Structure 1
Amino acid sequence: MPPTDPSLARRYRRLLRCYPRDWRQARTPEVVGLLLDTAPPGRTRPTARETVDLVRAGLRCRLGRPRSRTVVAWAVLASVICGLFTGALASRAAWETSRPQPDRAEAGAILAEVFPGHDLGDLDVPPALFVVYGQPLTLGNVRSVLLGDGGEYQESATGAGALGAPPVPAEQIVAVARQRLTASGWQVYDPEVSGGITCADKVCATPLAITQTDLRARRGDTVLTASISSQTNADATYLAVELHRAPPPLAAPTGALGTLLGAMVAFLVFGWASRRTEGRRGDGAAKFFFGVALVLWWLPVPLAAPQLLRHHLDEPHPAWHPLWEWLGQPVASLLFLVGAVCALLALGLAAEPRRKRSPVALVE
């Protein structure tokens, strides 16, 4: 097959779409002809090296810095993190389509069915789907979330607990609960059993071994988490139960769409700023502010994401943690805010109009 095979030329032209339109209109025939002349007979596809070189050079040209070796990497980092932030915000908005947390009637019926004969006391019904220190997010407490207490922003749950010594062995409570959950249509996950030590008196003269079993189940959009302990202290809890909602169906697709759109917009904005600042006096300052913003935005991700992944692998999860927690938010919201200020400063330098030279007056 000759090297001028139409399929090879067509694929080269597709790769050249990474370049700006003006560049393609002026140089596409010349570049494609050169690539075809250097291709060996029989080749129908560009090599991996050619593909990488053409894409990288095209993106450099689009970003206004054809000689830069790192501008593409910075653009990718900016696009990905901005896309993830946008996706997290979109998925949080989709959470508003979720049903409220189980009320007293719904939770009471579930607990009476799964844990009969146990006095779980008063039900604690949360005031909102997401809370901060048990309270809805308001203008009064949003400052604390953004400036250090972001870890307290989390999904709420309807909870109850039973005090004292268990009326029957803990193993029997777990077995009965699993049986009743399965019979009621719940998807029951394997329980996790851990051991510990408690004390029979204040000086702990007689330490006692106890076991704690964590049981998780899901039915529809409702998730049940129960902790059953073999402890016998009168003022301690032997059964603690929480009920909360799983992510709504729109959370995942909305987050994915938001991530894609956010990444595309971020790449376009980065390219605009890169072209505007190239060769200008404020180029160094713009690079500095953009670099600081990306470092601060990315810094929590390699810390939070592996930790959450290990958490998911170590124990069963009826529902995944929301996207923003994988990005270290809002725990690291202060870093995000400082990074946002730096990004705005860089964009401000890019938006500054170019200075025009004043005409030189003629002196007679």
Structure 2
Amino acid sequence: MPPTGDPLARRYRRLLLCHPRDYRRARADEMVGVLLDAAPPGRTRPTVREAANLIRHGLRCRLGRPASRTVGVWATLAAVICGLFTAALATRAAWETSPPQPGRAETAGVFAAVLPGHDLGDVDPAPALFTFYSQPLTVRSLENVLLGDGGEYQRSSVVAVAAGTPRMPAGETLALARRRLHETGWQVYEPLSDSTPSCPEKTCATPVTSIGTTLLARRGDTVLELHVTSPPPVDGSHLSLALSRTTPPAVLPAGIAGGLLGAGIGWLVFGWASRRTEAAHPARGAVGVLFAITLFLWWTPVLLTVPPLLRHHLDEPHPTWHPLWEWLGQPAASLLFVVGAATALLGLALAAAPRRGPDPLPTTG
């Protein structure tokens, strides 16, 4: 047995804790002895390469595949995506701590303070914190969410529109609003403009280009979005103001806690299924295929959504970022998530089937 008083031997044994207990009982002394024999005189610490190899091999053993070079990668992918999904679920629950959406009185007060001299028209209240096609999400609408309309599930806002004809040109209205926002304590962001061709007459003989300008501001837990259109549209309002709430403080810690919990559970479940199907299992191939399908269905929306959404955030001001689930392509790609969950459950069920012959020696610590 290698001397336990040797500091290098003690450090090697600490690294071997990554291996299952039974594996350490059977091979730890031999492994430490080989490592000490290969170490040059005077060394007191394992090299970075040795440490990495021992940790990597230990994780492979705990996953039931000590000879596999990729099992750690697959386990990490499974753990990360499970952590992301549970984090998104936790953040959605934490959004319920948000204050109620602004009411009619608060909206009218902000409108009067930001746009003095403008007449307030209709005020459209927010029916819920998040809405699907401007209505609260219901069980009946889940079918439409799954069949491709999930992107319509969005944060809601209370919208007020100006009544009558424009009191001043669009540029003067924006200048007035920016000045009043600064004076009343709002943090104002740079305005964004886009142009849209429209046809004021049925024949569309003389198309007109409408320029829409959006001004964003934030004060406390409230976000303001002012939209001005020039020239005024024939069938709509030239001026609208929307108020919504910022991300509640509870969302970040809830997301971190939910993500860590989900990643840990994902790693453990993957390890269990991997050890179950290590050898002499009738469904080993099927479980591997189902696992690959699950990862493909879960990771594809994430990889397709993150780059454009990141560019969107970098190109435009955002007083509050999009919710985490939108970064995961949800619920726009909720059908892929549901199918992936079904293949994952089927794979776990097959992994739980009895093995052929006697069970292999346990490999867990």
TM-score by length of 2: 0.89
Q: Which residue of 1 aligns with 2:264?
A: 264
The 1-side partners of 2:329 and 2:260 are apart by 20
**1:137-170 CA deviation, whole Å, 9 max, x = no partner?**
1212122212322111111111122366532121
Unmatched runs of 5 consecutive residues or more in structure 2: 359-365
Q: Which residue of 2 aligns with 1:361?
A: none
Q: Which residue of 2 aligns with 1:239?
A: 239
The 1-side partners of 2:43 and 2:238 are apart by 71
Alignment CA distance shift 1:201-1:146 (3 Å): closer
- Is the CA contact (8 Å cut-off) linking 2:122 and 2:162 kept in structure 1? no
Q: Which of 327-336 and 17-26 deviates more?
A: 17-26
Unmatched runs of 5 consecutive residues or more in structure 1: 358-364
In the TM superposition, residue 176 of structure 1 has moved relative to its aligned partner by: 1.5
Q: Which residue of 2 aligns with 1:71?
A: 71
Q: Which residue of 2 aligns with 1:96?
A: 96
Q: Which of 327-336 and 19-28 deviates more?
A: 19-28
Q: Which residue of 2 aligns with 1:159?
A: 159
1:59 and 2:53 correspond: no
Alignment CA distance shift 1:180-1:40 (3 Å): farther
In the TM superposition, residue 18 of structure 1 has moved relative to its aligned partner by: 1.9
The 1-side partners of 2:357 and 2:42 are apart by 55
The 1-side partners of 2:285 and 2:235 are apart by 64
Q: Which residue of 2 aligns with 1:27?
A: 27
The 2-side partners of 1:327 and 1:79 are apart by 15
The 2-side partners of 1:233 and 1:136 are apart by 29
Alignment CA distance shift 1:7-1:192 (3 Å): farther
Where does 1:1-364 land on structure 2 (aligned, <5 Å)? 8-41=8-41, 43=43, 45-162=45-162, 165-199=165-199, 201-279=201-279, 280-354=281-355
SS of residue matched to 1:299:
helix
The 2-side partners of 1:54 and 1:73 are apart by 16
SS of residue matched to 1:168:
coil
The 2-side partners of 1:41 and 1:183 are apart by 73
SS of residue matched to 2:121:
coil
Task: State the one-letter code of the partner of 2:351.
Answer: A
The 2-side partners of 1:192 and 1:125 are apart by 25
Q: Percent identity?
A: 61
- Is the CA contact (8 Å cut-off) linking 1:164 and 1:233 kept in structure 2? no
The 1-side partners of 2:21 and 2:127 are apart by 55
**1:93-152 CA deviation, whole Å, 9 max, x = no partner?**
111111121111111111111122223411111211111112111212122212322111
- Is the CA contact (8 Å cut-off) linking 2:200 and 2:234 kept in structure 1? no
- Is the CA contact (8 Å cut-off) linking 1:166 and 1:230 kept in structure 2? no
The 2-side partners of 1:288 and 1:43 are apart by 46
The 2-side partners of 1:195 and 1:319 are apart by 25
**1:280-302 CA deviation, whole Å, 9 max, x = no partner?**
11101111111111110001111
Alignment CA distance shift 1:43-1:172 (3 Å): farther
- Is the CA contact (8 Å cut-off) linking 1:163 and 1:236 kept in structure 2? no
The 1-side partners of 2:342 and 2:214 are apart by 43
**Aligned pairs, number:** 354
In the TM superposition, residue 240 of structure 1 has moved relative to its aligned partner by: 2.1
Alignment CA distance shift 1:43-1:230 (3 Å): farther
- Is the CA contact (8 Å cut-off) linking 1:277 and 1:349 kept in structure 2? no
In the TM superposition, residue 206 of structure 1 has moved relative to its aligned partner by: 4.3
**1:44-97 CA deviation, whole Å, 9 max, x = no partner?**
554343233222211110011112222111111100001100000011011111
Q: Which of 149-158 and 17-26 deviates more?
A: 17-26
In the TM superposition, residue 223 of structure 1 has moved relative to its aligned partner by: 0.8
- Is the CA contact (8 Å cut-off) linking 2:282 and 2:356 kept in structure 1? no
SS of residue matched to 1:100:
coil
Task: State the one-letter code of the partner of 1:224.
Answer: L
SS of residue matched to 1:121:
strand
Q: Which residue of 2 aligns with 1:362?
A: none
Task: State the one-letter code of the partner of 2:346.
Answer: L
Alignment CA distance shift 1:87-1:295 (3 Å): same
The 2-side partners of 1:322 and 1:236 are apart by 30
SS of residue matched to 1:237:
coil
What RMSD in Å do the two structures reach over aligned CA positions? Answer: 2.3
Alignment CA distance shift 1:246-1:281 (3 Å): same
The 1-side partners of 2:291 and 2:206 are apart by 61
SS of residue matched to 1:122:
strand
Task: State the one-letter code of the partner of 2:221.
Answer: D
SS of residue matched to 2:216:
strand
- Is the CA contact (8 Å cut-off) linking 1:216 and 1:223 kept in structure 2? yes
